[in-house]
Each structure stands twice: as C-alpha cells, then as structure tokens.
Chain A
C-alpha cells in the first residue's frame, strides 16, 4: 500500500494518466448539474391559475423522523402529521372548527347524555380492499384502553364503560356520567384495521412502519432517515385528493430546510416571523416562486408562575408582573406583528373565547403600586425592590425556542424597569421537563399551551391535577374554578357550556396564575405551483383542505433525468 503510494508520488506522469478518468467523472458530476440548473432557473411564470387537475408531487420537510405511524403509540408530532393523511377518525373538525363526521355519517346522543351512537358511512373500505366496519372501531377502542398498549392517551377512552356494535355500521358507547369533551376525543382517535392487527402486539408490530389505512393517502415508501412518501389511496373513504404523491423529507436543520426551499427542492415549509416578513420579501427571485400564507396560530405562549413559591403566592405580585409586561412589544418585537394577544386559553374569535375579556394593559405605574401594596420597596437603593431583606428576584426557564427566548429577554428588561431582577435559563426539552417541571423546581417558565378546540381545561387548571407528571404544574388551586371545570365536563348544551367557560376564563385572567403573552400566527411558505389553497385561511388553518390542493401539470416539477 505504502509502496504504491510512494511510487505514484515519484512518477507524476503516471498520475496524470490516472487522473483522466476521475476528471471525466467529475465533469459528469458537476457539468451535468449545470444543465439541471438551467432547467429550473429558466423562470417559469407561476402566476397563471389553472383548473384543478390530478397528479403531481408535494414535497415537505420535517425535522424529525416519526417512530411509527400508529398515532396512539408514536405520540410525536411528526407521526401524527403523516398518520393523519393515512388514517381516519370517526369525527373531524371542519374548516370552521365545528365537529363533522369523517367515518361517521351521523351520531346521536341519548337523553341522559351518557350514550353516544355513531352511524358509520356505508360501504367503507380499507386501502387493502377489506370492509371497514364498527368492529374495527370497537377493536381500536379496546386497543387504546388496553393496559398492555404503550400509549399515553388511554385515559379519555377509559371513561367509556361500555362499547357495543349493534351492527356493522353502528358503534355505541356509554359513559358512567355525561362527558362533554367525549365527541372531541373521537375526532382524534385514528381507527385501525382489526383484520391486520388482531393477532399483533401493537407496541412492536411491523404495521406501524407499513400501515394500511382508509384516508386519502397510503404509505408508498419509507426510507429510514431520508423520507416517507405517500400515494393516493384509491379506496379512500373521503373521496379522492388531487395531488398524487406527498413526500416528507427528513431534514433536521432548519437552515438547511430553508436552503432546500430556496433551491426549489421542497414545496412547503413553516417559517419564523423574520423569514416571513424580512427574508422572503427581500428576495425577489424567491418571491416569484413562493407564496406566503398566514393563519391563526394553534397555541399561545405564556409566562407561568410557580404558585407554591414566594412571592407568586400573592396575587398582587402576579398582577403587577402582568401589568409590567408589554405584550404589544412582544408581538411587535418577537413576532414582528405576526400574532395576537390573548386573554383566555381559546382561539380569539371562536365561541369559547370570552369577547368581554382583554389582556392586562401595559401599565408600569399600576404594577409599581401593586407591588408596594404587596409590601415591596427598594430599601437599600440598589434599584431592586425587596421585602423582609429579600430582593424581588426570580428565574425564568424556557426551552430551546428562539421566540420564547426572545420573549423572555424582552420581559426581563420590562421587569427590571419596575425593580424586579430576572434571570433567564434556557434548557433542552427533556431536561427541562425532567429536572425542573416534574419536581416543580422553578420560579417561572415561558411555555406554550395549545389553544384548545374543546374548551375543557380540567387537566391544566383543576386543583386535583398537581401530581408530579400532571399538567397543573403551576399549582393553581381555586375552588371556584374547580367547580366550573367539573360542571363544564358534564354540560353538553353548547350555550350553557359557553357560559361556564367564559366565567372560567374571567376568573383565570383575574387570578393571573399565568401571563398570556401572545398567540403567533402559523406562517407558511408554499411553492406557487400548488393551487387551490384557501387564502385567507379559515379558522382551521390553510391545511384544512389539502385534498383540494392541486398542481397543474404545466407547473409539475421536472422529472430527474439520467446523467
């Protein structure tokens, strides 16, 4: 080996001859691609609207690979996004976020409000041509409530005390007591095929990587660590989608994803506010190909206090902090105006959101007055308020999320203005939960909750939900709120329910166990070859009708050619 190497150094003329072949290859590798470049940079004008056509491929990117495509055992968002194209639930949310039937054609609720009967659509089929019946629904319910199933989602379904299938198209469930969020839970449970899973261990089955569903698409190929591609399911229970193929590429780095979008290698990508309002508008050559969409966000960001700790057990301190934080500044500065303030945990403008409520205005004088009332003053003249010799100082924890971090930095400065010393600590997600949230080792956190579609907030705000891994980790305890949350779960009448949750939101805002900071818009870049997208987005977001999106054949991406 070494000798060979030494010889080739000694005889440069030989080297030259050997080099010719690699050179040819190199020219193939680089030059050919220049041709490709000419293809794609030959500017296509994407402004023309064409009628809807079938075919085409839509490529998106995701940062992580799903572990499997059975949503109940996978859990992470990558899995549910893809599985949502493959599996159906009994119900779905329509574009206005009202419940509608998906597999179910209709449903009745008994007079005692404890029994729900779902009537399936006739002649439903799985992608492998087997009939989809109420037996499959019953089987899925058994799976999700089975103690051997490794799922974190069983609790809601365990409230069902009896499930029956009077006939192949009817599925009937009975609860011990009326359970208002029941219908919502049936909109998020993917129905799985009994005929393929009945003898399988759901936790390890190969089905998770080779699923058979009933929705618009079916899995075509899963290339580990690279991509998953779905093709249309000819047996779809919901009719046919236009786009033939959905491909999800796995690209962990967001910067690399954006480069791929710029190079027209992916069609759709979520953006941050700077990319949306600064980067893309500054790049006219990208603007010709890429359209921007925004939609109401699905979550809100908040500053949550550890109510078991001093000084947050004093409502005046919490309210003072709320007054001292300038939410508009956060929305302008962090979200570049691409967001809204919220005053309740519900999407603004929807039924559950109480229109009478508004966020605490920015009012540092009022904040100072409240703190003074609570006994804080700057006795030693260091600019930091204190009480009983202890300075008013706390630490804000948040996870690695650029926007949350910036939000924390902005609050830090505003709180300093009124004499509160704030430190910030940013943590990786699993450590954050395991080391700080679960043992309740924190002063305050910046986190997000989703803006619920069902108004039930029992798990987050009921005083019984303060166990180590439960979600009332701020330690909120208000008997009035407990009573409202309990009542809300039993009340099925939408109007009465609405009143209950409006009242709940009002008390929550007054108590200020958290400071609502902002609800950022969902921002998306989608290549202009994709048409049929609702703009502006309805409450359910632009993704509500992906089956109606289409790619005119004139705009289809060039097929890869041979070298």
Chain B
C-alpha cells in the first residue's frame, strides 16, 4: 500500500512538469503584458517607463529563460509576487524587514473556495444519494423521471441567472439573506456567535447554487451504479437467502454502487475549482476563481501560473486520495496493490 502511494506520488512530478509546460504555453499566447494594462492606456505613461517595467518583471528575457525561472520557483514553492498587486506574494505570506506580514493571495483565496466547495459537495451528496437510490428503485416510474428532470434542470440552468434571481428574491424583495460578500459591514464588532451566523447567512446562496448545478452528476451516477449492482448475481443470491429488501438495497447494493463514487469525487475537483469563477464574481467572494479571472484580465502571469499549478496540484492530490480511499474500501483492490 505504502509503495503504491509513493509510486503514485512520484508520478506527480512529470505530471506537474507537463502542467507547467501547458500553463507556460498559454501565457505565451497573451498579447500585451502587465505593462499594457498597468499603465491603463494613460497618455502620461511613456514608452521608456514601460520598457523599464518590462525589464523589472523579466519580461524582456528569452522565453526559455523565463520558463527556467518559473520552474525554479515552482520547485521551491515560491511563486514570487503578483505583478498587478505587486506588494503581495502569490502563494504564501511573506515578512518584510520590519516584520510586517503580507498574506499570500492563494493562501487567502484557497480556503474560501475550498470551504464553499466542500459544503456544496456535502449538500450534493446529502441530496443526490437518496435521489439516486429512489430513482434506481423506481426505475422508469414517475418518481424516477421526475427526479431525472429535476436534477437535469439544476444542471441546465445558467448559474449566474439563477443566482441573480435568488439574490433579488431573497435579498431585495424579502431581505431574508444578504446579497453579496462573506460578511456584513460592521459585523466585526459583533460576538463570535453572531459573526458565525452572519457568515453562514452569506454562504447559503453560493453553496446552494453550486450544489444545484452539481446534483445531476452524482444522482445519475448513483442511480446507474445501483441499477447495475441490483442486477448482479450476489444481490439475487442475497434476495434468495431471504434478506429483507432494505438490507439488500442499503447493506449490499448501495455500498458497492458507491465505491466508484469515490473516484468521481476525486475527479470533480478541477470542475469545482473552475466553476467557482462565475459564482465568486457574482457573489463578490474573494476566492480562487475571482483571483484567477482578475489575473487573466490584468495579465498577472505569476498569479495565473500559481493558480493553475496549485489547482492542478490539488487535483492530483485529490485523485491520489480518491485512489487510496478506493483501494482501502474495496478489498479486491486492496489485496491487489498489497501484493
């Protein structure tokens, strides 16, 4: 098992190099650079000072040198400082000589995005698993079809449209929930309990929206997995042994149907991180998605590279964890890798 994990871990190195190559290639597609946007098309910005800026950001070096510099940074987990918010380190906090700590941009944005995604994944599983099971048990009946239509509607509705409508309905018309951001203005003077409630209130809409769009995948996966398992021999055997239908369904079938779900969850990480762009822009949440989008518009190359690398790294870790969990949960695989 350990050997397997180590082997998988080492595999990540060539993968990361591949990822860095792709990210770096994309960067080369960009017309214009930070000096294009930083000077903001201001007639007072002179060509000479732009050249100066380019030299300071190493943008005047040959591509291969720039890539080398980048690889070096990646290996040392030092992603440098942002071009656009040049006072801020891209990845992790830094201290200046006076001891002032500046938080890293990814350090700050990642926990928020992860929190929202973990919560929405939890919500998805809570809703989608029962829906999937019901769908499978009532295959081709009304309940199955209603559930299928319902989860597909969730998938098919443009997320930002639903968000705006819900923001208007719950935030403006009824004032039940806050509209945007993650905390109310002035909430820092409240007790921690009220602050927590305030924070939860801000999370409701983003988590709900992100969950709605993700229901279909898990629910259909569960349904089809269940259907497949329910037709297998050992289930027929279990039934013939006179086990109650509940035991059969929940004790045997669901357990086996769920195994592949672990892999699916591992694979869904990049989609979740990527999907955060729109939600975070509309709800004014300072997460990875919004950070990335801003960086793209500003041509903030270190931030773009940093997020692509960290995002991919997380995905690789997620896949690794999923595989390990799968191996652990499935006795057949467990034995296989141990040998």
Which residues of A are in contact with B by a Cβ distance under 8 Å?
2, 5-6, 9-10, 25, 28-30, 32-34, 36-37, 40-41, 57, 59, 64-65, 67-68, 73, 75-77, 147, 150-156, 203-206, 208-210, 224-227, 247, 249-253, 255-256, 259-260, 262-263, 265, 428-431, 433-435, 438, 459-460, 467-471, 559-560, 562-563
Contact = CB atoms under 8 A, between A and B. Distances in A.
B87 A435 contact: no
Nearest to A185: B44
Contact of B250 (A6, A256, A435, A471): A6
Interface stretch (B5-13, B35-43, B60-68, B144-152): B35-43
Contacts, number: 215
26 contacts: A2-B255, A6-B255, A33-B175, A34-B174, A64-B294, A68-B85, A75-B38, A75-B42, A76-B40, A152-B38, A206-B100, A206-B102, A225-B291, A226-B183, A252-B284, A252-B290, A265-B185, A428-B297, A429-B297, A430-B37, A430-B298, A431-B31, A433-B37, A471-B41, A560-B184, A563-B198
Contact of A155 (B38, B48, B168): B48
A251 B290 CA distance: 11
Contacts of A226: 181-183, 284, 286
Given A6-B255, A256-B167, A430-B298, A563 B194 contact: yes
B56 interface: yes
B172 interface: yes
Q: Which of under 10, 10 to 19, 20 to 34, or 35 or more describes the interface residues of B?
A: 35 or more
A145 to B, nearest CB: 10
Contacts of B109: 225
Given A206-B96, A459-B44, A469-B50, A256 B164 contact: yes
B181 A251 contact: yes
A76 B251 CA distance: 61
The 5 closest A-B pairs by CB, nearest first: A434-B32, A225-B286, A152-B45, A434-B31, A37-B175
B46 A154 contact: yes
Interface of B: 30-33, 35-50, 52-53, 56, 81-82, 84-87, 96, 98, 100, 102-103, 108-109, 129-130, 164, 167-168, 171-172, 174-187, 189-191, 193-194, 197-198, 200-201, 204, 246, 250-251, 254-255, 258, 281-286, 290-291, 294, 297-299, 329
A75 B40 contact: yes
Given A6-B250, A32-B197, A206-B100, 5 more contacts: A67-B84, A75-B38, A204-B87, A434-B33, A563-B194
A438 B36 contact: yes
A153 to B, nearest CB: 5
B149 to A, nearest CB: 23
B180 A430 contact: no
A429 B294 CA distance: 12
Nearest to A560: B186
Contact of B201 (A29, A156, A430, A431): A29
A506 to B, nearest CB: 22
A36 B175 contact: yes
Contacts of A468: 47
Nearest to A465: B43
A263 B254 CA distance: 46
B193 A563 contact: yes
Contact of A153 (B36, B45, B298): B45
B132 to A, nearest CB: 12
A259 B177 CA distance: 12
Contacts of A9: 130, 250
A563 B103 CA distance: 31
Contact of A67 (B86, B177, B189, B197): B86
Contacts of A206: 87, 96, 98, 100, 102
Contacts of B98: 206
A518 to B, nearest CB: 20
B172 A262 contact: yes
Contact of B172 (A77, A147, A263, A438): A263
